[in-house]
Amino acid sequence: MDFIAKRSYLKRMMSSSDVACYNLLRMHRSTFDKLCSMLTDVGGLKPSALDGTHIKLRVPSLDKARYRNRKGEITTNVLGVCSQDGFFIYVLPGWEGSAADGRVLRDAISRRNGLRVPQGHYYLVDAGYTNCKGFLAPYRGQRYHLSEWREGRHPRSAQECFNMRHSSARNVIERCFGILKLRWAILRSASFYPIRTHNRVIIACCLLHNLIRQEGVDPLENEVPEMGVDMDGMENTPIQNMDASDEWATFRDTLANEMFTTFSSNRISR
């Protein structure tokens, strides 16, 4: 099918109904119209230009060992950061699947235009990362996942209480990646694109995720809670290292004890 035929087919599909447009492009017509306008007005493209975890990809045989993750799959290790209301605010694809999460994060904060964590702020991270200033990790060796707190189970210590709250709050990034892969089939299976092109595809999918969420018309996003993000103080000097410290460990312990005290008091008062 030549370019003119493809363009004609696309126009017919997207103009027929919201259902047809969503099935074809994974977004409703109003969102697609806005995307076209953005590509034209912001991106400088002409009107005829119509073409975020571990993401599978294909690499040359010589590179397979580097890209093979712990599950034996050939992937790129993608670092993604999202806001409390489900928007991707930083994405770094390209690292080999064999790379440790901590190594990828160190690279992200060391880049000139990389991830910035202002003093006094922190991101929630899983147990694969170091618990250090700016990155709050759960306690290891304690129950963590939300599924472990079902059937009336309650935390029996400050560390378990902290992990339960941590898992609940960090669930938003799991949902972001889950929705991202559910929407875009190209992120669920290895493509034949070169690595650099595939990395750009990952970033493009994350940007489209944000656009669709901004429009508020995406059926896959309906259950994501609407929560505001406090951006005050985001201009301070960012955190530039990931060294564990007694100060940060004490901060986590204090936070955990406060959570457990509140949790216990609420249970007694009921």
User: Which range is least confidently modeled, 3-17, 87-101, 103-117, 148-162?
Assistant: 3-17
**Tens-digit pLDDT profile for residues 173-212:** 888 888 888 888 888 888 788 888 889 999 999 998 888 8
**Tens-digit pLDDT profile for residues 101-141:** 888 888 988 888 888 887 778 888 888 888 888 888 888 88
Query: What's the pTM value of the predicted model, to 2 decimals?
Result: 0.68
* Mean model confidence pLDDT for the chain: 75
Query: Where do the structural domains in the chain lie, given as residue ranges?
Result: 3-41, 54-226+236-269
- The residue that leads in pLDDT, 26 or 252, is 252
Please give the pLDDT value at position 1.
Answer: 46
Please give the pLDDT value at position 139.
Answer: 87
Please give the pLDDT value at position 52.
Answer: 33
Please give the pLDDT value at position 203.
Answer: 92
3-state SS record for 50-107:
CCCCEEECCCCHHHHHHHECCCCCEEEEEEEEECCCCCEEEEEEEEECCCCHHHHHHH
Sheet strand arrangement including 75-82: 54-56, 75-82, 88-96
- Percent of the chain exceeding pLDDT 70 equals 68
pLDDT value at 241 more than 70 = yes
Distance CA 164, CA 97 (A): 29
